[in-house]
Structure 1
Amino acid sequence: MAHGVCELLWIRRLLTKLGFKLEKPIELHCDNKSAIDIAHNLVQHDRTKHVKVDRHFIKEKLEKKIICLPFVKSEDQLADILTKAICGRVLHDSLTKLSISDIYAPT
């Protein structure tokens, strides 16, 4: 998530230099509720010691309203067709969203 925030900050800076005024926070969609909760939670947990610096970095950007972390259901993640085994319905829906069709299908 921290790498994604860094990329969003770079894109935000680039858009600002190109003359676009960003009025709303940039959305970083995440399908991991635990990661979103850790990013928003002020209390440090023992299980998150190794992500302490990243969590503070993300929390700072959330508080400044530079980014927001909306939850997206795993079946709505388009990248999942490249990284996970998914059911046929989800695969078909993802391919439709990506405008990928079967060129051998009868017309």
Structure 2
Amino acid sequence: MGAMMRILRDANWAGSVTSRRSTSGYFTFVGGNLVTWKSKKQRVVSRSSAEAEYRVMVQGVCELLWLRRLLRDLGFAPQKPMDLYFDNKVANAEIVSFPFISSEYQLTDVLTKAVSTVSTTVFLNSFDKLGMSDIFAST
């Protein structure tokens, strides 16, 4: 039986008058039961409320993945998607979206992965797509 997991997260942008750092907070629920909660000042100064909120989202995803693994190890394999709730106006206004892209089409892999971990074909195709197939060719 899979348990529904959800996290409610929030951050106040530059909530500290002296340090200008935001405070993050969250509640984690499994099957309607509160299992974890936390409030903490963020380590860095965010440049906007959106950045403060997205930092909280990243932490939320990490918490959900950890909790999912823990439940799986205890014999409760979650079967439903995990929900991450937040009240970020940038996300609600649909200014930024997070569509999935397969690694096969992710051009930035050439900047972040060692050549040995990416297939040669994918690596060379990335350079072709970037218009960098032969830097020594005459134009």
Question: TM-score normalised by the shorter chain: which range applies?
Answer: 0.3 to 0.5
Between structure 1 and structure 2, the one with the greater Rg is: 2
Q: Which has the higher contact order (CA 8 A, sep 6+)?
A: 1
Larger proportion of helix: 1
